[in-house]
Structure 1
Amino acid sequence: MEAIYNAHYPAIHQYAARRTGSPDDTADVISETFLTAWRRIADVPEGDAARLWLYGVARRVLANQRRGQSRRSGLAERLKDDLAAARPSQPAGIDRVREAFDELPARDREVLALAFWEDLTGPEIGKVLGCTATAARIRLHRARKRLAEALGLTEEDQAIAELRGERL
């Protein structure tokens, strides 16, 4: 098998490279082709006929690869449509909040995400970030303040939100 591989690898590599869109796809075709040859070593002809046999195997591997990509693309489209249909409607102003959030430094986004998306407490955030609970609460307080500023909220707006029990 090693002799077949050494003799025909360059030809199979070029065959696959000319027919695939990425080095990863090329590598997949080559490996699957030689794996098939190894499994069916008794069917591999002698001499130059082996190269032609390997081309045939590579051709079928490429066809399988294309069919798989087509199935995955179709599935991804259906999944995207299903998720879009199931997505709850966005509350008014969510785009503004998302833009403000995205403009924050990564450190602020992380601490806010841990607090609101993951619903972690100060001590839990501290464990995740590798700092004390006090440091986590300070980071969270500062990040909230920067988010409020990015949203254009005044201190009065923030105080009213806190009185209502809303977390910002």
Structure 2
Amino acid sequence: MDDDEAARFEAVYRETYDQIAAYAARRCDTPQDAADVVAETFTIAWRRVADLPPGQEARLWLYGVARKVLADHRRSTARQRLRSVELDAEIADLYGDSPGSSVELSVIGAVFRSLPDDDRELLSLVAWEGLGRDEIAAMLGLSRNAVRIRLYRARRRFSRALDEASVRFTAESRMISAGRVL
């Protein structure tokens, strides 16, 4: 790696670290898992610095890398959980609902988690990452129209699932079902 590539990586790292860290933190169960995902994402970027696209496309490329790292992380976590049933019970006890949490929000969260992975990812990219259709299309390697259709369907499935769970449509849950807040 030459000095220009190192400087380019450092610039991209400084510009995107907070966004990639937030992306991972919202999708991981623990801060340690998020840190591992971020570290692996930037390790891959370091190794593949020549593949980093120019300008703002680098951020979307990193989101794509983080998404794949996160998927690998989830598969690894699933394998570990299968081997450690006792640990799962302890984690469930530790991370259960707090006494002050709203039942409505916990139901909405459960409904959201019950959605297919692709639906959750699309809704999260809009609500949490604030990405537009063009940016999501670039990140996922899809056409803008495909993103528009998939996002429409994901929102509709989420809305139906909320209806089936008898979630009252307060202003907050309407925003959630519209994909503005998750």
TM-score strictly above 0.5? no
TM-score (ref. length: structure 1): 0.45
TM-score (ref. length: structure 2): 0.41
Which structure's CA Rg is the greater one? 1
